[in-house]
């Protein structure tokens, strides 16, 4: 009996030290159907993971889903093979992750863009409406016609959340400004249809819009090309897309999934990984607008000051950006 207790104590002690050093992590990523190289959301996670690999030398495994049935299968497979933390990218993974997390209580899961309440799940969500508000403000300030555009991918609540924040930002800067809105389509193809994106942008330009924001994944590449070709301004999304057409992209609304990924991996490595919900907004640097050499000339000091002030007001709570997801309505 005594030896058993001793053994148990030793095991706990050993386990404890292993946890404290926490070097042996086997991270894994499950991308959403969009795929690893979507130039936007999923690719942000990939960029973050590659950066982590470079910084720490820790190898990771990843998997690109092909259909819905694979979600559970892949998560379970990674968990069974001892991978942890497992990063699940995209809100569609939630129900599969909920099941698998229960089956493997000792594995750590990180879910991006959706919340699952479980003792071994870390949920990371973003306040896209706050970032969209700021680029909306910049768009209104940059517009000469008083008309700005928005091109969304698929008409789902998430994209309405982008649009809603954007409209509020535009109206905040110029109450009489008009926002033209289009969604690209109704199938998954809407995320990857640059030709149609360009057509929608051209139609909006014909109606007088001179700054167009896209939240449409690969479709947005066409939006940015069309605005650049017409001598108007585009606004990128998720990753920094300013360099796609230098001087023709006003700014990009950054959603720092790369930072979220690195942080999650690092925390697991250092043994500080914690379950629960992390909401990344302007305050946490989870969303931001991009300012670099490519768009320096487009952002006047006045615009920058206005955006910085609005950002500070949002952080302090003086300006409230309405979240479409809270009541499915946009003021």
Partner 1 sequence: MSAAPIELPRWADYVLVPALAVAAAFVIAGLVVLAIGENPLESTAILLRGALATGEGVGFTLYYATNFIFTGLAVAVAFHAGLFNIGGEGQATLGGLGAALVCLQFESLPGWLLVPLGALSAAAFGALWALVPGYLQAKRGSHIVITTIMFNMLASALLVYLLVNVMGRPGSMSPETRTFVPAAHVPFLHEILARFGVVIPTTPLNGSFVLALAAAFGVWLLIWRTRLGYAIRTVGANPSAAVYAGISISRITMIAMMISGGLAGLLAVNEIMGVQDRLLLEFTGGYGFIGIAVALMGRSHPVGIVLASLLFGVLYQGGTELAFDKPAITRDMIVTISGLVILFAGALDGVFRAPLGRFFASRRRGDA
List interacting residues with partner 1 (CB under 8 A).
35, 61-70, 72-74, 76-77, 91-92, 94-95, 113-114, 154-158, 186-188, 325-326, 328
Q: How far is the CB of 41 from partner 1 (least distance, A)?
A: 13
Pull the structure tokens for residue 67.
Answer: 């259909």
Give the shortest CB-221-to-partner 1 separation in angstroms.
19
**For the purposes of burial, counting CB atoms within 10 Å of the CB of 95, is it exposed (0-12), middle (13-18) or buried (19 or more)?**
middle
Backbone angles phi, psi at 6, to 5 degrees: -60, -45
- Residue whose CB is less far from partner 1, 200 or 307: 200
Output 75 or 134, the one with its CB closest to partner 1.
75
CB nearer to partner 1: pick between 58 and 154: 154
Taking the least distance from each CB to partner 1, the nearer of 115 and 243 is 115
Q: Calculate the alpha carbon distances from 66 to 27, 31, 216, 325 in Å.
A: 21, 10, 20, 28
Please identify, using beta-carbon distances, which residue of 43 and 113 lies nearer to partner 1.
113
Going by C-alpha positions, the residue among 127, 161, 137 that lies closest to residue 250 is: 137
Shortest distance (Å) from residue 123 CB to partner 1: 11
Q: Is the CA virtual torsion 319, 324, 326, 327 positive or negative?
A: positive
CA-angle at 284, arms to 283 and 289, nearest 5°: 75
Q: How far lies 122's CA from each of 63, 218, 225, 283, in Å?
A: 20, 28, 37, 19
**Minimum distance of partner 1 from residue 53's CB (angstroms):** 13
**Least distance from partner 1 to the Cβ atom of residue 157, Å:** 6
């Amino acid at each position: 009996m005594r030896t058993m207790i001793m053994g148990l104590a030793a095991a706990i002690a050993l386990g404890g030290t292993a946890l404290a050093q926490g070097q042996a992590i086997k991270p894994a990523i499950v991308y959403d159907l969009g795929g690893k190289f979507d130039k936007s959301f999923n690719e942000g996670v990939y960029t973050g993971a590659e950066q982590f690999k470079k910084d720490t030398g820790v190898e990771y495994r990843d998997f690109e889903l092909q259909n819905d049935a694979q979600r559970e299968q892949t998560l379970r497979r990674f968990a069974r093979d001892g991978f942890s933390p497992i990063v699940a990218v995209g809100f569609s993974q939630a129900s599969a992750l909920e099941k698998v997390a229960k089956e493997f209580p000792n594995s750590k899961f990180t879910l991006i863009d959706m919340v699952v309440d479980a003792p071994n799940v870390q949920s990371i969500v973003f306040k896209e409406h706050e970032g969209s508000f700021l680029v909306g403000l910049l768009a209104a300030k940059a517009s000469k016609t008083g008309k700005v555009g928005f091109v969304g991918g698929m008409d789902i609540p998430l994209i309405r959340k982008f649009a809603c924040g954007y409209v509020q930002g535009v109206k905040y800067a110029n109450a009489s400004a008009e926002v033209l809105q289009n969604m690209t389509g109704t199938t998954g193809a809407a995320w990857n249809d640059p030709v149609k994106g360009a057509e929608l942008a051209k139609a909006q330009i014909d109606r007088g819009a001179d700054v167009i924001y896209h939240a449409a994944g690969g479709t947005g590449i066409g939006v940015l090309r069309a605005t650049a070709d017409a001598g108007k301004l585009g606004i990128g999304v998720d990753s920094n897309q300013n360099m796609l057409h230098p001087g023709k992209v006003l700014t990009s609304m950054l959603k720092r999934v790369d930072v979220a990924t690195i942080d999650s991996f690092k925390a697991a490595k250092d043994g500080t990984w914690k379950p629960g919900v992390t909401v990344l907004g302007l305050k946490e640097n989870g969303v931001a607008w991009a300012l670099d050499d490519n768009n320096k000339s487009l952002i006047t000091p006045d615009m920058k000051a206005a955006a910085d002030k609005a950002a500070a007001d949002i952080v302090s709570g003086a300006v409230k950006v309405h979240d479409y997801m809270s009541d499915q309505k946009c003021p």
